[in-house]
Every structure is written in structure tokens, then in C-alpha cells.
């Protein structure tokens, strides 16, 4: 990367303390940006016969990562399933670091089972609140808080399950909604100089892919391997950088050719 022009900018990474989020936070810090590492202080217990498919790093992990990052990085907590949380999160970050220049909507809710046969109003609502509604509200809040010509770029983290992925009905469709929001908000905000893009990862090793699944993934990923969190982070930094200054409304699939 050259001429990213991210040094000194304030970057908010939701779900920024673990796995892909942590890799994204580190990648921006490596460019000299000040990173607000968002985390969920405490997840609600899953309903009966349901398991959460996401991790919830402890506050100590977010604090430790912020200390590691340097450049004035700090941890900030919010439960993005709450309707008022995006506005409060923006106020908290702006209060510490000033105007937000980059938003990475990475936090996600995932649960199982998530099939048509097990679908419930509650499971759909949980997926959509975090995966679509919160990113939309957070983007709107940051855009409204922007002053003058301050640079502002939004990168949403989708998934190639947004195209089609058996057994992930709520998760996949909520991410498909996020991709539609990416295009819609890109059009609405382009006249203000605000860019909105998305990255759609394929199978990424974040600790959940066992050796048997790795071999299966190799067979269906044309480039012959599962992804690393850094593969996603590099794409996110590119879309937020000066080099992508005329790119908006795009969904960049970072998946080694998977699900083309």
C-alpha cells in the first residue's frame, strides 16, 4: 500500500477486539491511524436449543489490544442490538477522539441452528438488529456528525453467505441486506464526498475451522486455501484509503474465488 493517507485519522472498528476485527484494527494502526476498538461488554445468553456462532472478547482483551496498537487507540463498549446504541457509540468516540474518518461495520451476530425449519421471529430479529440495522444507523449517525470536508469512508463486512449458504438463513439474508444498504447509502452520500463499500469474506480461519473442514474448504476454494484475518484486513484498509478515493457502492469479494 502507498499513499493510504490514514495517518492521524480516527477509525471506529465495531467488533474490533477479536479475530477479523482485531486484524482490521492492527492494519489501520500500522498506517498510523487512531483506532476506537469497539467491543460488546456482555452477550445475552442464547435461548434454549440455540448456540451463538460468534465470539465476545472480554473487556480486558479490547483494552490490551488498544494498548498494543498505540497511536491513541482506545476501547469502547456498546451493545449494538440496542436501538439507541449506535448514536451513543458515535458520541463516545467523538468525545474522546474527535471526528470519525473511517467506520468499519464488522460486528456481527450469528447463531445456530439457522435453517428455514428452525426460523423464529426472535432469531431473525437478533440477526438483523446487529448485522443490518446497527450498521445502517451507525453510518447515518457518523454522516450526520461529520463537519465540513472531513474525510469519511465506511466499509461494511458482509460474507459470501449473502449470496447463498445452506443453513444460514437469518445470517446470510441479514448480510445481503447489509450489501443492499451499502449500495443505497453510497448513492445517498456520494454527493457529500462520503464513500460506502463492503468486503465479503469467504471461509476465514478464526479458530472455528477444524482440520477436516480445512480440507473441505481447500476443495471448494479455487485458490486452494482458507483465508486469514489479514487477507480481509488488507482489503478493508485499501477501500478506506486514498487509493480507493473513486470507489463507492462496491462489494469486494475476498474469498480466493469461493462462491463466484
**CATH architecture label of 10-254:** 3-Layer(aba) Sandwich (3.40)
CB-side exposure of 185: number of CA atoms within 13 Å?
Answer: 29
> Residues 216-221: what's their mean pLDDT?
86
Region 15-28 average pLDDT = 97
The C-alpha cell at 232 is 480481509
Distance, in Å, from the CA atom of 128 to the CA atom of 131, rounded to the nearest integer, reads 5
Q: What pLDDT band is residue 166 in, cutting at 50, 70 and 90?
A: confident
106 vs 220, more confident: 106
pLDDT tens readout for residues 112-157: 999 999 999 999 999 999 999 999 999 999 999 998 889 999 999 9
What pLDDT shows up at residue 51? 95
Query: Does the annotation count 128 as an active-site position?
Result: no
* Number of C-beta neighbours around residue 36 at 10 A: 28
> How does residue 217 score in pLDDT terms, banded at 50, 70 and 90?
confident
> Quick check: 3 pLDDT over 90?
no
Q: Per-residue pLDDT averaged across 47-54, rounded?
A: 94
Active-site hit among 160, 171, 248, 255: 171
pLDDT at position 97 is 97
What is the chain's mean pLDDT, rounded? Answer: 95
Provide φ and ψ at 155, rounded to 5°: -125, 115
pLDDT at 57: 92
Residue 52 parent element (H or E): strand 51-52
pLDDT confidence band for 214 (50 / 70 / 90): confident
Task: Report the half-sphere exposure of 194 (CA within 13 A, side-chain side).
Answer: 28
The predicted pLDDT at position 86 comes to 98
The cell numbers describing 163, all together, are 449470496
Q: Is 112 exposed, middle or buried (0-12, 13-18, 19+ CB in 10 A)?
A: middle
High-pLDDT (> 70) share of the chain, %: 100
Count the alpha carbons within 13 Å of 61 in the hemisphere toward its beta carbon. 17
Residues facing residue 204 across a β-bridge: 227
Q: What is the mean pLDDT of residues 24-37?
A: 98
Sequence-ordered list of residues with C-beta below 8 angstroms from that of 121, at least 6 positions apart, any chain: none
pLDDT, position 1: 61
| Cβ pair 155, 103 in contact under 8 A | yes
* Nearest in space to 181 (alpha carbons), one of 156, 209, 162, 160: 156
CA dihedral 49, 47, 139, 10 (to 10 degrees): -90
Mean pLDDT, to the nearest integer, of 177-198? 98
Distance between CA atoms of residues 200 and 239, nearest Å: 12
Amino acid at each position: 500500500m502507498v499513499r493510504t493517507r490514514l495517518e492521524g485519522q480516527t477509525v471506529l472498528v465495531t467488533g474490533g477486539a477479536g479475530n477479523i476485527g482485531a486484524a482490521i484494527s492492527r492494519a489501520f494502526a500500522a498506517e498510523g491511524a487512531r483506532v476506537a476498538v469497539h467491543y460488546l461488554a456482555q452477550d445475552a445468553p442464547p435461548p434454549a436449543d440455540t448456540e451463538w456462532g460468534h465470539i465476545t472478547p472480554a473487556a480486558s482483551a479490547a483494552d490490551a489490544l488498544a494498548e498494543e496498537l498505540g497511536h491513541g487507540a482506545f476501547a469502547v463498549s456498546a451493545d449494538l442490538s440496542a436501538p439507541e446504541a449506535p448514536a451513543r457509540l458515535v458520541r463516545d468516540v467523538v468525545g474522546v477522539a474527535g471526528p470519525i474518518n473511517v467506520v468499519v461495520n464488522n460486528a456481527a451476530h450469528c447463531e445456530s441452528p439457522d435453517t428455514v425449519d428452525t426460523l423464529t421471529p426472535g432469531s431473525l430479529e437478533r440477526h438483523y438488529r446487529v448485522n443490518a440495522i446497527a450498521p445502517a444507523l451507525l453510518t447515518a449517525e457518523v454522516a450526520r456528525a461529520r463537519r465540513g470536508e472531513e474525510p469519511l469512508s465506511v466499509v461494511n463486512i458482509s460474507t459470501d453467505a449473502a449470496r447463498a449458504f445452506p443453513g444460514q438463513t437469518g445470517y446470510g439474508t441479514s448480510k445481503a441486506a447489509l450489501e443492499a444498504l451499502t449500495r443505497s447509502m453510497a448513492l445517498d452520500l456520494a454527493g457529500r464526498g462520503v464513500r460506502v463499500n463492503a468486503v465479503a469474506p469467504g471461509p476465514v480461519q478464526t479458530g472455528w475451522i477444524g482440520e477436516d473442514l480445512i480440507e473441505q474448504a481447500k476443495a471448494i476454494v479455487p485458490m486452494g486455501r482458507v483465508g486469514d484475518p489479514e487477507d480481509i484486513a488488507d482489503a478493508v484498509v485499501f477501500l478506506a484509503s486514498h487509493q480507493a478515493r473513486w470507489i463507492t457502492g462496491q462489494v469486494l469479494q475476498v474469498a480466493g474465488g469461493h462462491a463466484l
